[in-house]
Structures are given as C-alpha cells and as structure tokens.
Amino acid sequence: MVDDGDAAVTSLSGSEDEVSSQLLLIARRRAAGDGVAAMDTSAEEEDDGGEDDSERVREILRDMATRNKLPLAKKSAGAIRKMLRKIVKKPGDAKARRMPTKNIIIKKYVADVKGGMEILKLAGFEVADDYVTMSEEVARANLGLLQTMVDQLEAAEGDMMALINAPPKPIKRQRCKGGCGFFAEAATDYMCSVCYKKKNNPSSSSSSSSSSEKKEDNVPKRCIEGCGFFGSPKFRDMCSKCFVKAGGVIEKPKLWHKKLRRAVTKLAAVYRFRKGMKVRAVQTNKRRCWACRKKVGLGGFDCRCGYVFCAKHRYANEHDCPFDYRRAHQKKIAKENETVSTKKFDKIDQ
C-alpha cells in the first residue's frame, strides 16, 4: 500500500523552494502522526496500569475492613482520603506531601492500622527518616491515580458506615430440651440453666432438698400450751407469757439507760469547761500589725506569741506579749546544762 505522504512526495512539482517547503510540511505531518500513535499506546498502558492499581486498592480496603474493627477501618479510610485529596488539590504543597510518622493521625489511623501504610505506598509515598514523603514529580504524574483512590476510599467509607449502622441480625431462640418450656442457649447444650444443672450436677438436687428441710425447720410454730401465739425454742416452744406461767425466768437485757446518762453528764461537763476557757484568736492576715493594724507587708516582725507586729509594737512590753520568756529560758538552761553527780555507794558499817 502507498501511504498518503508517499503519494504526496511523488506528486511534488514546481520550483525547488516550493518542493522543499512541501517536503517540510509532509515531514511535520508524519512526526505529528507518530506522536499521536505513541500517545495512544502510552494512554492504553496507563489505563491498564490504573485498572491494576484500582483493583489493588480494592483488595487492600477489603483486607483492612476484615483485619481491623470496622469503626477503626472507617476512620483510617477517612484520614487517608483527606491526605490524598489535599495533594490532588495542591500537588505543590510540601506540607501535604511530607508528614512525620509521629503525627497522631498518621500513627493512630495509618501506621497502627493493618493495610494503612500499603495504601500510602501504592499512592506513591515513601517512608524515610521518620517522615512519610512524596515528591512533587510523583504527585503530578499520579494525579489520576490519586483521584481514583480518593473516590474508592470515599465509597469504602460509606460502605463501612452502612455496615456499622446496620441493625444486628435476629438470633433464633430455641426451647429447652428438658421440656420445661424456657428458652435455651447453645452454650448450655440448648437447655435452660435449671435443667443443665440437674443434668451435670445431680448433687444439687440433694442440696436443694436439704435446704428445703432447713427452711421447714425455720418455720415458726405455735405455742405448745395452745394459747394461739407463736412459740420460740429459747422458751421451750412456748410463748413468753406461758413460759413465765410455767415458772421460767426471762433474763432482762442489760439496761443502757444508766450508761447513756453517765455519758451525757460527762459531755455536759466537758462542754461547760471549754465554754469557760478563752479561745485564742488566730491572725489570718500576716501583712498587718496585730496591735495597730498597720500595713507591714513582708517586713513584719514575728513574735514568739504567734502574731506579726510592726517596728513599733514588735517588743514584748509594747503589745503585752503573753509568752512566758522566763519559763522558756529555764527550760533551755536545764536542757543545755545537764546535772553531773557522782555515783552513790552503800556505806559499809565497821
């Protein structure tokens, strides 16, 4: 077959300048045709690669939903979707393409989630020096893939949300095999708790009989004298009146009235004693003089009586100090000067 360009070359006519211009035009058309063909083949290859990547993303999302809890997988998909959407909107944003692995979102919803880092690596991210990075060239080259991944993540997020909000499946309940009419569970061999205990613990029946006998023993009985009242074992199965008539003696409980009266008397005495004592006032504001109420700030003088005074009233005779300096000095001298005496010997009589 003869190409259109070859036919055009054979049909050239005219001057040399016209022929050269026509040959240049034909060459440009051929180059443009080869470029279009190459673009078509590269587009087909990109389509094949994009389909493989999208299928891989679907597999990772399915694996993420099965290996992790659904709420965590949903939050992880949402976090990754937001990261990729920022890059799609602004591929040149360095902050969106470079994030530390210590970031709480990366750590909690990507690194600690099974399948999270695989999605980032498939998108073009690389982990290096405690950072998750993507170069600007890769981001601009994979814009189509990133947009596809954003759409898939959004769809997967919706599916996971639907599964989370789906009502639980009703559990079919089965009647007890023992024929008692109650419902049973598979954990107890489809028997109710009572029938299951009877089957596996026959001793429980004997214990239940003994407990019923004990209950019968604890039932109150009528008085044996026939008065109609209930009797008591401590009154020999008689009521209290019949027991006294029969000559029994009822021990009276210890009277607590005397102890209470004695305690009330003691408390009243303590109250009167404390009421008569003078209550010593407490200085709450330490930045004023206790005698003249003058402001002293941090320059007040602490007295041994426990109050703060100004420069005028700091002496003991100026504020009638109740502290006993004499006794304090006596105690100090006695403590510092211990008594020294010789050992006493018994006298020997000649």
List, in order, residues 6 or more apart from 25 with CB less than 8 Å away: none
Handedness of CA 342, 344, 345, 347 (dihedral sign): positive
Looking at residue 255, what is its pLDDT? 73
Tokens of 7: 């036919």
Looking at residue 148, what is its pLDDT? 84
Instruction: Tell me which DSSP letter residue 92 carries.
Output: T
Residue of 191, 197, 193 lying closest to 175 (CA atoms) = 191
Tokens of 74: 């949903």
Strand 126-128: give its sheet, edge to edge: 98-100, 131-133, 126-128
Distance of CA 102 to the CA centre of its chain: 21
Instruction: Tell me which DSSP letter residue 298 carries.
Output: G
Residues of the chain with pLDDT under 50: 1-12, 32, 34-47
Residue of 57, 56, 72 lying closest to 153 (CA atoms) = 57
Are 103 and 41 in contact, with CB atoms under 8 Å apart?
no
Q: Report d(CA 315, CA 176) in Å as an integer.
A: 95
In this predicted model, what pLDDT tens digit does every residue of 132-183 receive, in sequence order? 888 888 888 888 888 888 888 888 878 777 777 777 666 677 888 888 878 8
Are 73 and 113 in contact, with CB atoms under 8 Å apart?
yes
Q: Is the pTM of this model over 0.95?
A: no
Residue of 266, 263, 307 lying closest to 285 (CA atoms) = 307
Tokens of 139: 């981001």
The length of the chain is 350
Compute φ and ψ for 139, nearest 5 degrees.
-65, -40
Cβ of 243: how many Cβ atoms within 10 Å? 20
Looking at residue 346, what is its pLDDT? 65
Q: Report d(CA 241, CA 229) in Å as an integer.
A: 10
Q: What residue ranges in 22-179 does DSSP mark as E strands?
A: 98-100, 126-128, 131-133, 174-175
List, in order, residues 6 or more apart from 148 with CB less than 8 Å away: 50, 53, 54, 57
Q: H/E element holding 9?
A: helix 4-10
Q: What residue ranges in 137-279 does DSSP mark as E strands?
A: 174-175, 183-184
Residue of 81, 55, 56, 53 lying closest to 161 (CA atoms) = 81
Tokens of 99: 């994030």
